[in-house]
Structure formats: structure tokens, C-alpha cells
Structure 1
Amino acid sequence: MIVVCGIASESPLARVRAELDSLGLPYAMLHQRRFEELPFEVEATGAAVRGRIP
């Protein structure tokens, strides 16, 4: 899955999301201004970074 992070209403991200939709690719949108409300987990161990969006 592709994670798109930023402000969804900004034109560059809107274009990316429109292209992902047209290609039928799954993605999750992480709204920069709503990080405190988002249920996601991130773990950094050495050089590896893993995350999960429940």
C-alpha cells in the first residue's frame, strides 16, 4: 500500500491522489494537520522502520 502524507487539499497531493485513483492503486492518506487524531503506529529499530495503520 502507498502512504500519502501531507495536506490533502494542496494541489500537488490532490494530483497524486487523482492519479492513484485513476490507476486503481490502494493508498492511505495521512493528513498532516490531523496527526494527533490518526490511529497509526511506527517503530524504528536500527535501520528498519515499520508502521501500521489499523
Structure 2
Amino acid sequence: MTTEPRPKTDYYVTRAAQERAAAQRTTDSVARRVHLEMADRYDALIAPKKLAL
């Protein structure tokens, strides 16, 4: 039986925070949206998976 490596949750939490900080610093609305989307994607990697019923 093989086990998968643990998710790098600390890394994902850090990257999400960095992306949100970058979004706050930028004055460009497109760049802000992209940074926030990336932060959301990192958050999704952290969130527990929901089972479809």
C-alpha cells in the first residue's frame, strides 16, 4: 500500500496570503482580480474535499 504525500497546507496558506497582499498593493483592477483568483485557488487546495451524494 502506498501513501500519498501530505498536502503542503502551510505553503498554500502562505501563498494565499501573499496573493491577497499583492491584490491590495496593486492599482490595476485586472491584476487585482487575478491575484484574488489565485488566492481562491490556493484556498481550494486547503479546503476539505466534499463527497458528492
Structure 2 length-normalised TM: 0.37
Larger Rg: 2
More strand as a share of residues: 1
More helix as a share of residues: 2
